[in-house]
Amino acid sequence: MSTERYLLGGGLLSGIRRAVEKADGTPVKIDVRDASRQPLQQSREPQLFRVGTATGTWNKTYTNEVQWYPASGVTATFTATNIFANITGTTAAYNVCTARAGNTWYLIAAECT
């Protein structure tokens, strides 16, 4: 009985290897010398933690507007949700720390007044 043999060229063999690696979930290897596969610009890591200020009563399960300062002379606002405890008895601005989970910002600490 004869056995059939097939010879694979280098291009076909590496293509088969890439297909198997992709099917196995192995991360794609990028040749650092191949500039066409490199990103044009590195994206910044998303911000997960912000320090800012809030004003007024902020009850548990409610949202409040938080002011933060992303750059010198620049003020921005975003909305965060308080999931821990009521903040009452203040009309002045107080410092807060917030963290993001998914697309939602949460209050994680507030200045005691």
Specify the pLDDT at position 108.
96
Residue 20: Cβ-neighbour burial (10 angstroms; 0-12, 13-18, 19+): exposed
Specify the pLDDT at position 8.
67
pLDDT tens, residue by residue, 59-99: 999 999 999 988 788 889 999 999 999 998 778 899 999 99
Which pair of tokens denotes residue 108?
Answer: 């994680």
Range of the domain at 102: 49-110
Q: What is the pTM of this model?
A: 0.57
Q: Do the domain assignments include residue 8?
A: no
Q: Do the domain assignments include residue 58?
A: yes
Q: Do the domain assignments include residue 69?
A: yes
Q: Do the domain assignments include residue 4?
A: no
Q: Do the domain assignments include residue 1?
A: no
Q: Do the domain assignments include residue 40?
A: no
pLDDT tens, residue by residue, 13-53: 778 877 777 777 656 566 656 555 555 554 466 778 999 99
Specify the pLDDT at position 69.
87
Q: Do the domain assignments include residue 37?
A: no
Specify the pLDDT at position 43.
46
Q: Do the domain assignments include residue 10?
A: no
- Residue 94 CA to residue 91 CA, distance in Å, equals 9
The single residue listed with the structure tokens 């200020």 is 53
**Number of folded domains in the chain?**
1
